[in-house]
Structure 1
Amino acid sequence: MAITLAVAITATGLLLLGALAWLGLPSTTGQKPTVAEFLDTLKIVLAVVGGIGGVVALVVAYRKQRITEEENHRARETARREDIKLYVDRFDKASGKLGDASAAVRLAAVHALAALADDWEGGRQMCIDVLCAYLRMPPDPEPDREIDPGAHTAWQAMGEVRTTIWRLIAVHLRADAPIPWHGADLDFTGVTINSDIDFTYTVFSGQVSFDHARFADGMVSFLGARFVGGHVSFEHAAFSGAMVWFGSVFAGGHVSFGHANFCGSEVWFRGAIFADGRVSFDDTAFSGGEVSFDHVAFAGGQVSFRNANFSGAKVSFTEVADWSHPPEGLPPDIQT
């Protein structure tokens, strides 16, 4: 800006000096310039000076704008760092209380982490990871109610913490969730499920692992859930006692039940729609319990039962709604 101002002042001075010098010279006719010629020259000089002044004004305005933008950027960065500092402080306090001896304190920590995940998009996955890690930790064995009723009550209270985590995750996976966690990674590897979980009308579009999970008790509902992307894995999961409903829509991504063992649960795919993506039951063992594919629509995508073992469970494909894209590897004697 200083250079521009110096050039502008120098150019203005030279123009004025040149105009004054020219006015002192004779014209082409040998006469001194007339008043009209003087005024025309003065107009030209003033126009040029005005143009230079305009350029200077533009430079000054541009520089002010740059300074303002830099100051605003610094202010935003400062505010962002302060926000992150506050978020990290909230995270440390909440996660630290998950190990408290009181179930009430743990419940407060769970709600605090879920609220932080809603507020802090950049740290959302970190909060979800902590909640999932809590579910992966093995619960304490159930005390005998008759021998120690107080310990049994405390154990039930701790179970409520797990139930609350499942509920909060499911609520945020609903299609109409105000602040959805769709697309987040959910690691439930090795969890033991022995209570009711409601994943009704949820959306699974990220990386979700139920690998080696044990569905031991309770009712787990995926009714109306939509698997639309990512990879959802139930590989090596054991369906050993819970009632599980997969009346879902498989419309994209990859859902794998590879090497899972249906060994004692009632698992219902009744009314499910296989529309797109890939669903694999490869190397799955149907060794006990009841598995229903009644009224299922195999309307698209790729469904595979390669090397599946139908040795003990009651598996039914009654009144299949749509066979237009039949599964691969399904034994001929089981198709109806």
Structure 2
Amino acid sequence: MSPWTMPLVSAAVLLLTGAVLVALWLWVNRQSWTDQEKRTLAQLEVVKVASGIALGGGGLFTLYLAARRQRTQEEAQADINADAEARRITELYTKAVQQLGDDKAPVRLGGLYALERLGQQQPDQRQTIVNVLCAYLRMPYTPPPERAARSAKGVHRPLLRNSGRRAGIRRPEGQSPAAGLVDAQQERDVRLTAQRILVAHLKRGGESWGELDINLDGAVLIDFRVSDGLFRAATFRGATFIGDMYFLGIFTGFVSFAGASFVDEANFGGTFRGVTRFSEVFFGGEVAFSGVSFAGYVTSFAGASFAADAIFGETEFVGRTHFRDSAFSGRAGFASAWVGESAIEPGSSWPAGWTVSGEATSRPGRDGHDGQWFRLVRTSSAAPPRPPTARS
């Protein structure tokens, strides 16, 4: 408050009081009074009215000051509470991240669940938490062989019949191979938990955290399965997918699987609304894009390798599409795929032995892309330009 506020308000109240007093006093004096006592009483009433105005003005200003003081205190308390809440969130976040760096798997699991709980309580922290989960999954990891992982649950030792033979055994220095397998198996469980938390909140409805960006470039993902998902931007460049996986949902932004490797079967469904890249991807098992709508401006499978059957049943290619240098070892199922008008422009390229038919069909497309559609037809049974090769 300005230092001039109180003097100005006091002066205004006094001026108003004086003006009312003078006006009423003059009015009383102009009246014709036959009784002097009545005149005196009227003048006293004028003084009372002026005094009431002065007291009322002062009281109102006092109430205003009290209300202003109360509001200031409430705002200060709100700031204190906000700072305390921010410190609490920071402490929880810092502790959870520190737990992720612990050597013990149960502690890392606790860190993951703490981050999930924080994301449930603080919507503005969800993208940051997703970034942390993705960063953890991007850390280098070599999954144990399935058979070795099973044997790591118990260590088999030869029967030692006497103390002399037992005395000749020396504990090897460093971590034993069996212990290393146990650690790898525990780390696998931790990573599966991180994947489950990530996938659970990228779904539409329920406990969805909304449209978020994910960056899993170079990650090793095991049995990664998303149903009814909702993504904004998603990048899996150079990622390795182990086990059967599927993506069913909507990608609203840029998507890249460039250089990724799918060791086993892969299934995709839903809509890709942004630029989508499967360039230089290796599919080791059967892959299906049944019912997928590639609605973005560009869709690229350039240099992709398909080691098994590739099914594009009822797939829609809306924008410019590239299949140059793609290789198919198994069956290439494009007979029931649909090609939009924008996809037949000169910049598009199709798999070897396939081309766009010349006959257009009017049909309602998915995701609002209605209009003229074309089919892909086989032109020859030529061999693929190069055999698919797996990449480590």
Instruction: Compute the TM-score of the two structures, normalised by the length of structure 2.
Output: 0.69
Residue in structure 2 matching 1:264, options 275, 284, 301: 284
Matched with 2:83 is 81
The alpha-carbon deviation at position 109 of structure 1 amounts to 1.1
Distance 1:37 1:198, change over 3 A: farther
The 5 A counterparts of 1:230-269 are 230-239=253-262, 241-250=263-272, 252=273, 254-269=274-289
The alpha-carbon deviation at position 55 of structure 1 amounts to 6.0
Separation in structure 2 between the aligned mates of residue 218 and residue 246 of structure 1, nearest angstrom = 14
Matched position secondary structure for 1:222: strand
Residue in structure 1 matching 2:227, options 194, 200, 218: 200
Matched with 1:176 is 205
Separation in structure 2 between the aligned mates of residue 113 and residue 43 of structure 1, nearest angstrom = 73
Contact 2:239 2:261 in 1 (8 A): yes
1:7 aligns with 2:12: yes
Matched with 1:294 is 313
Matched with 1:273 is 293
Matched with 2:237 is 211
The alpha-carbon deviation at position 306 of structure 1 amounts to 2.7
Matched position secondary structure for 1:114: helix
Separation in structure 1 between the aligned mates of residue 211 and residue 333 of structure 2, nearest angstrom = 33
Question: Residue type of the partner of 2:25?
Answer: L
The alpha-carbon deviation at position 104 of structure 1 amounts to 1.4
Distance 1:297 1:18, change over 3 A: closer
Distance 1:17 1:295, change over 3 A: closer
Matched with 1:138 is 140
Question: Residue type of the partner of 1:11?
Answer: L
Matched position secondary structure for 2:279: coil
Q: Deviations over 1:231-253 (max 9, x none)?
A: 222223233x1321112223x3x
The 5 A counterparts of 1:45-194 are 59-140=61-142, 142=144, 144=148, 148-178=177-207, 180-193=208-221
Separation in structure 2 between the aligned mates of residue 295 and residue 78 of structure 1, nearest angstrom = 58
Matched position secondary structure for 1:15: helix
Distance 1:44 1:317, change over 3 A: farther
**Structure 2: which 5+ runs fail to align?**
156-176, 355-375, 378-392
Q: Deviations over 1:67-111 (max 9, x none)?
A: 333222211111111111111111121111112222111111111
Separation in structure 1 between the aligned mates of residue 243 and residue 277 of structure 2, nearest angstrom = 20
Q: Deviations over 1:189-211 (max 9, x none)?
A: 11122x21221111112x32112
The 5 A counterparts of 1:20-59 are 20=25, 23-24=28-29, 27=30, 59=61
Distance 1:141 1:197, change over 3 A: closer
Distance 1:141 1:233, change over 3 A: closer
Matched with 2:334 is 317
Contact 2:25 2:43 in 1 (8 A): no
Give percent identity, aligned residues only.
26
Contact 1:282 1:304 in 2 (8 A): no
Separation in structure 1 between the aligned mates of residue 79 and residue 144 of structure 2, nearest angstrom = 51
Q: Deviations over 1:267-320 (max 9, x none)?
A: 21012234x44351153423533321112245xxx3332352233344211323
Distance 1:260 1:51, change over 3 A: farther
Matched position secondary structure for 2:120: helix
Matched with 2:246 is 221
Distance 1:54 1:23, change over 3 A: closer
Contact 1:23 1:33 in 2 (8 A): no
**Structure 1: which 5+ runs fail to align?**
none
Separation in structure 2 between the aligned mates of residue 277 and residue 325 of structure 1, nearest angstrom = 13
Contact 2:234 2:254 in 1 (8 A): yes
Distance 1:306 1:323, change over 3 A: closer
Matched position secondary structure for 1:204: strand
Question: Residue type of the partner of 2:6?
Answer: A
Contact 2:258 2:277 in 1 (8 A): yes
Contact 1:99 1:106 in 2 (8 A): yes
Separation in structure 1 between the aligned mates of residue 75 and residue 296 of structure 2, nearest angstrom = 44
Separation in structure 2 between the aligned mates of residue 79 and residue 161 of structure 1, nearest angstrom = 35
Instruction: Compute the TM-score of the two structures, normalised by the length of structure 1.
Output: 0.79
Matched position secondary structure for 1:318: coil
